[in-house]
Chains A and B, each alone.
Chain A
Amino acid sequence: MDRGTTQNGDIQRLNQAIMSAMEVLRRGGPQTGTGFGGFAQQWGGGGGGGGGGQMAEHLTETIGERLRTALRERLSDAVRERLADTVRDKLRETIRDRLPGDLRNALTEAQQGGHFDTERVATVLRERLGEALERRAAETIRERIGEALRERMEDTIRSTFAQSPLAEHVDQSEMESMSSVVRDRLSEAIRSRIEEKARERLRETIRDRIQQAVRERLRESLEAAVSQAREGGSFDPERVVAILSERLGEAIRERVAEGIRERLPDIVRDRVEEAGRERLREVLRSTIQERMRQSGGSSGGMGFGGGMTLSGMGFAGSTEKLTSSLRERVGEAIRDRVASAVREQVEEAVRDRIEEVLHDRLAGAIRASVAEQLALHGSLDGERMADGIRYRLQEVMRERIAEGVRERIGDAVRDKLRDAIRKAVVERVRPGGDSASFSKPS
Chain B
Amino acid sequence: MHTSTIELMHDQVRAIYRAMTGKEMPELEAPEAGEQPPSVDEIARRFVDLELLARQVPTVVEQVPPFSFEPALDVIATDSQVLVDVAVPGIQRDDVTVSCTGQTLIVSGTRGSESAADGRCYHHAEIPRGPFHRVVSLPFSVVKEARVEVERGLIRIRLDKAPAAKLERPSDREEANNVQGE
Contact = CB atoms under 8 A, between A and B. Distances in A.
Interface stretch (B3-11, B79-87, B153-161, B174-182): B3-11
Given A6-B1, A6-B40, A15 B57 contact: no
B119 interface: no
B1 A3 contact: yes
Given A14-B43, A20-B28, A25 B3 contact: no
Given A16-B28, A22-B50, A25-B50, A10 B3 contact: yes
A1 B13 contact: no
A15 B16 CA distance: 14
A39 B6 CA distance: 27
A14 B21 contact: no
Interface stretch (B30-38, B88-96, B136-144, B165-173): B30-38
Contacts of A2: 1-2
A386 interface: no
A29 interface: yes
Contacts of A58: 52-53, 56
B25 interface: yes
A21 B16 contact: yes
Nearest to B5: A1
Contacts of A234: none
A42 B6 contact: no
A20 B43 contact: no
A115 to B, nearest CB: 68
Contacts of B43: 11, 14-15, 18
A249 B16 CA distance: 70
Contacts of B10: 10, 13-14, 17
A107 B21 CA distance: 86
Contacts of A43: 57-58
Interface in A29-67: 29-30, 39, 42-43, 51, 54-55, 58, 62
A25 B25 contact: no
A7 B6 contact: yes
B47 A16 contact: no
B56 A55 contact: yes
B53 A8 contact: no
Contacts of B56: 39, 51, 54-55, 58
Given A6-B40, A25-B57, A14 B2 contact: no
Interface in B49-97: 49-50, 52-54, 56-59
Main secondary structure of the interface of A (DSSP, over half): helix
B3 A62 contact: no
A11 B53 contact: no
Contacts of B49: 22, 62, 164-165
Contacts of A8: 37
A214 to B, nearest CB: 53
A24 interface: yes
Contacts, number: 110
A171 to B, nearest CB: 18
Interface residues of B, number: 35
Which residue among A13, A51, A168 has the maximum number of chain B CB atoms within 10 Å of its CB? Answer: A13
B17 interface: yes
B14 interface: yes
A14 B52 contact: no
Contacts of A324: none
A1 B131 CA distance: 11
Interface string B100-113: 00000000000000
B124 interface: no
Nearest to B131: A1
B152 interface: no
B20 interface: yes
A42 B1 contact: no
Contacts of A3: 1, 40
A232 interface: no
A9 interface: yes
B52 A62 contact: yes
A21 B57 contact: no
A12 interface: yes
A11 B21 contact: no
A5 interface: yes
Which residue among B2, B57, B58 has the maximum number of chain A CB atoms within 10 Å of its CB? Answer: B57
A82 B1 CA distance: 43
B25 A14 contact: no
B28 A11 contact: no
A164 B28 CA distance: 24
B6 A14 contact: yes
A420 B63 CA distance: 50
Contact of A14 (B9, B35, B54, B57): B9
B147 interface: no
Interface in A372-409: none
A25 B20 contact: yes
Given A13-B31, A14-B43, A43-B58, A25 B1 contact: no
Contacts of A18: 13, 43, 46-47, 50
B18 to A, nearest CB: 10
Contacts of A7: 3, 6
10 contacts: A1-B1, A6-B40, A10-B6, A14-B13, A18-B43, A21-B16, A25-B53, A42-B20, A164-B49, A165-B53
Interface of A: 1-3, 5-22, 24-25, 28-30, 39, 42-43, 51, 54-55, 58, 62, 164-165, 168
Interface of B: 1-3, 5-7, 9-10, 13-14, 16-17, 20-21, 23, 25, 28-29, 31, 35, 37-38, 40, 43, 46-47, 49-50, 52-54, 56-59
The 4 closest A-B pairs by CB, nearest first: A12-B31, A17-B13, A16-B28, A11-B37
